[in-house]
Amino acid sequence: MSEIAASPHRPALESWLRDPLPWAFLLLLALVFGMPALKPVFAFLFPGQERPLYEQDSFWSLTLAHLWLVGVSSSISVIIGVAAGIFVTRPAGREFRPLIETIVATGQTFPPVAVLAVAVPLLGFGPAPALIALALYGLLPVTEATVAGLESVPEAACEAARGLGFGHLGRLLRVELPLAAPVVIAGIRTSVIINIGTAAIASTVGAKTLGLPIIIGLSGFNTAYVLQGALIVGTLAVVIDLAFERLGGFISRWKRG
């Protein structure tokens, strides 16, 4: 017994058990794949519903489609937002900073529903207008975080890089961006989490997402459908948020190392 208690694997096991990320991920898998098994539960909670379980699509296919939409739109936001943040912190782009900040702030001021309403007549129904709305909505946190992160880089670090012979690009890639990474990742984290929840409304324009059971449930007064979609969207947001927290901790340890 004493040998088991002194096992070197015990601290690692205890650390894993205290880590919320694996448990949240297991809960997500249980909801995605085990929702049909909960049909009796929803039938009991909502006895007035003839169809207490959303069965028009599998929750697995809805989750994959939701992740694809969030992943593509967030990638667009990250590419444009980081590039804009870098540009306005360079000498050549500083005079454009008020303009760019106004543009990205406007993208989040307009509700995604309004962007969808404008984009649908031009692009038709489907994921295209949703991608535009989500990408615009996710720009502000990424751009602001990139600017804040780059401006927080100590001038002494930049001077040391100049002394080592680094050019502008070398300082940016090897000094400034690595030092600004935790702040930039925090902005990306905020943008992605916002888009996970906002992507649900993309189903109003024909995009396949986890918002389908929510939209159908609201239009058909089926609270069970709404609850099923909301449970998975909420759990997915928690899993992604915890994953970004883990990534931020890894980057901080890497910087210290």
Residues 113-137 have a mean pLDDT of 79
pTM of the model: 0.87
184 assigned to some structural domain: yes
Please write the tens of the pLDDT for every residue from 51-103.
Answer: 999 999 999 999 999 999 999 999 999 999 999 999 999 988 889 999 998 88
Residues 140-154 have a mean pLDDT of 92
196 assigned to some structural domain: yes
Q: Are 183 and 145 in contact (CB under 8 A)?
A: yes
40 assigned to some structural domain: no
11 assigned to some structural domain: no
pLDDT band at 1 (very low <50, low <70, confident <90, very high): very low
Structural domain range at position 105: 58-256
CA–CA dist 97, 90 (Å, integer): 10
Q: Are 212 and 57 in contact (CB under 8 A)?
A: yes
49 assigned to some structural domain: no
pLDDT at 14: 62
Q: Is 50 exceeded by the pLDDT of residue 4?
A: no
Residue with more model confidence, 184 or 126: 184
Please tell me the least confidently modeled range out of 59-73, 130-144, 161-175.
161-175
Tell me how many domains the chain contains.
1
47 assigned to some structural domain: no
Task: Tell me the CATH number at 206.
Answer: 1.10.3720.10
237 assigned to some structural domain: yes
Single-letter residue type at 136: L
CA–CA dist 225, 55 (Å, integer): 10
Q: Is 60 exceeded by the pLDDT of residue 3?
A: no
- Report long-range pairs for 84-90 (Cβ below 8 Å, ≥24 apart): 84/139, 84/143, 84/146, 85/142, 85/143, 85/144, 85/145, 85/146, 85/147, 85/149, 85/150, 85/184, 86/146, 86/150, 86/172, 88/147, 89/146, 89/147, 89/150, 89/151, 90/168
CA–CA dist 189, 145 (Å, integer): 10
Q: Which among 120, 113, 182, 121 is positioned nearest to 153, based on CA atoms?
A: 182
41 assigned to some structural domain: no
Which DSSP symbol is given to 46?
-
Quote the mean pLDDT of the chain. Answer: 86
Q: Is 70 exceeded by the pLDDT of residue 27?
A: yes
